[in-house]
Amino acid sequence: MSKGIAIQLVGEHAAETERVLAMRLIEFGHQVERIDQGVVDTLGSDKAVALVCHLLSRNGVIVLAAYRGMRLEGDAIEVDLDLNDTPDFAAEKVLDTLAGRGIIDLETSEYSPEEEEQIKKRLSDLGYIE
C-alpha cells in the first residue's frame, strides 16, 4: 500500500492549487480525496474533518484540504502557498516536497524493462540515440 498523508493547503490560491495537485497525484497513480467547504459543512465540525483526514491518510490516501481552521492529526503537513506562485507551479512544489519526504515517487514508468529496451533499440536503429 502506498503512503498516505493529509495536506492542508493555505494561501491565496489554495482551492485552485488543490485541484491541480489532485490531478497530478492521480496521474502518478495515487488515491486522492479532496476536502472542501462542502465536506466540512456536511461533517459539521473541524474535529470530525480532522478525524476523517486521519483515517483516510492512515489507509494510504493522500488527503488534500484547502480548508483552514482545523488542526490535522497523524501524518499531516500544512503548506503555505506563495502568493506569487501560480496554482500549477505551487502544485509542482508540493509534489517535490512529497517526493523529498519519500511519500511519492516522481520517477514512474509505464513501460516494463523489456519494453524500454525495445524502445531504445528502435531509437538506436533509427539513429536517434547511440
**Cβ atoms within 10 Å, residue 50:** 21
CATH number of domain containing 32 = 3.40.50.300
Q: How confident is the model over 113-130, as pLDDT tens digits?
A: 787 888 888 888 888 787
Q: What is the pTM of this model?
A: 0.78
- Select the more confidently predicted residue: 62 or 103: 62
> In sequence order, which residues have a C-beta less than 8 Å from that of residue 129 and are 6 or more positions away?
120, 123
Going by C-alpha positions, the residue among 57, 55, 62 that lies closest to residue 34 is: 62
Cβ contact 78:11 at 8 Å: no
The cell numbers describing 35, all together, are 476536502
Q: Which of 80-84, 90-94, 109-113, 116-120 has the lowest mean pLDDT?
A: 109-113
Tell me, yes or no, whether 130 lies in a domain: no
pLDDT: which is higher, 123 or 58: 58
**Domain count for the chain:** 1
Question: Domain residues for 92?
Answer: 5-125
Examine residue 36 and state whether it is found in any structural domain, yes or no.
yes
pLDDT for 6-56, tens place per residue? 999 998 899 999 999 999 999 888 999 999 888 888 998 888 988 999 999
89 within a domain of the structure (yes/no): yes
